Amino acid sequence: MRYSFEDVRSQLFSVVKSLSSVYILIDDLDGMYHNQRRQLFRTLIDLVDPKSSLSVVKIMVSSRPKDDIPTSLGVFLNISVNKADTNLDVEILIRSKIKIFINAGKPLRSCLEADPELERLIIDKLISQADGR
């Protein structure tokens, strides 16, 4: 069965009204069509309106940059995260995972013992290919 946007919106408001606080996470907002995003933006704005409900509604949206998204969500806090912001986190994750593999005695361990420069090459390659993700 396929539900209309209005059916989903109605159910969402019903659930929100029944709870004292609600956390909504929306991922890949840029994956929606522009007109669908507009409908969703109106719904989100209505959900956080204190006149709509006594519930505290917290919303987090993630998206790749699209021109209409920051302007449409202008009433909300907008935090932009770019590749430079995540590079250090990616590097820390990669280094820790490589250490785990080495310490677990994986086949990588013997290769790295034979060629100490190999670890740096692997880490550098993984970091450069991660592209901030």
- Does residue 68 share a domain with residue 89? no
Q: How many residues does the chain have?
A: 133
Provide the residue-wise pLDDT of the chain in tens; the chain has 133 residues.
Answer: 788 989 999 999 999 889 999 999 999 888 888 888 889 888 888 888 877 777 888 888 888 877 777 777 777 787 777 777 788 888 888 888 888 877 887 677 778 778 878 888 888 888 888 765 6
> For position 6, what pLDDT does the model report?
92
Give a yes or no: residue 113 inside a domain: yes
- Does residue 68 share a domain with residue 31? yes
Give a yes or no: residue 77 inside a domain: no
- Does residue 13 share a domain with residue 37? yes
> For position 23, what pLDDT does the model report?
93
Give CA–CA dist 28/32, Å, rounded: 8
> For position 44, what pLDDT does the model report?
87
Name the residue range of residue 64's domain. Answer: 5-72
- Does residue 51 share a domain with residue 28? yes
Give a yes or no: residue 65 inside a domain: yes
Domain boundary among 36, 53, 72: 72
- Does residue 113 share a domain with residue 60? no
Domain boundary among 45, 72, 99: 72
DSSP secondary structure of 2-68: ---HHHHHHHHHHHHHHSSEEEEEE--GGGS-HHHHHHHHHHHHHHH-TTT-SSEEEEEE-----TH
If one counts the domains in the chain, the total is 2
